[in-house]
Chains A and B, each alone.
Chain A
């Protein structure tokens, strides 16, 4: 399974955009890029996923580099409720349902 690299922690101010980076230089053509977040004392929450094109949903946007070796999760206006650990995961969809979680990025949002 291909690995991802994320910064351990990031800080943001409330109501400002947040760009969470993820490097995945060994990504293969069939790997989907998934993002999940985990708030304290809760299970992980699905945020967004994509393959090649940029994706948008009500929670966030996913910007995927043209060579697919990196991606960025964009929270357009951070709120205090967005403070969580964010996980970037590669998943080969035709393979197992396994998600391999790394250490993720702990996002702190300051009021």
Chain B
């Protein structure tokens, strides 16, 4: 079956611009999470969505936002880009349901490499 698809794979933006990244989860997965990966900070959690609702948010400024659609596809948006936002942005999906005890693994996409100049 198809994996987690992230588009675009690479993006170059200028400081001050905004960017929207897209993630299509594995069919049937309703839980979608986003992560930022940089050489200095490693992998950091951005937010999680389930059934079109944000369930949890990491420690990032309000310039980082996201949403999930009824088909579980998700987008994240970064406004007023800064040089420090240059990173690999990863999306992950899972069969996990909030509040349920049973746990599942996450499948990650290949990421979107964002470069801010």
Contacts and interface: CB of A to CB of B under 8 A. Distances in A.
Given A97-B96, A97-B98, A46 B105 contact: yes
B113 to A, nearest CB: 9
Given A44-B43, A91-B103, A103-B42, A97 B94 contact: yes
Interface residues of B, number: 31
A8 to B, nearest CB: 13
A43 B42 contact: no
Nearest to B46: A98
Nearest to B106: A46
Interface of B: 4, 31, 33, 35, 42-45, 48, 50, 55-56, 58, 90, 92, 94, 96, 98-111
8 contacts: A30-B101, A43-B90, A43-B109, A43-B110, A46-B108, A98-B58, A99-B45, A100-B45
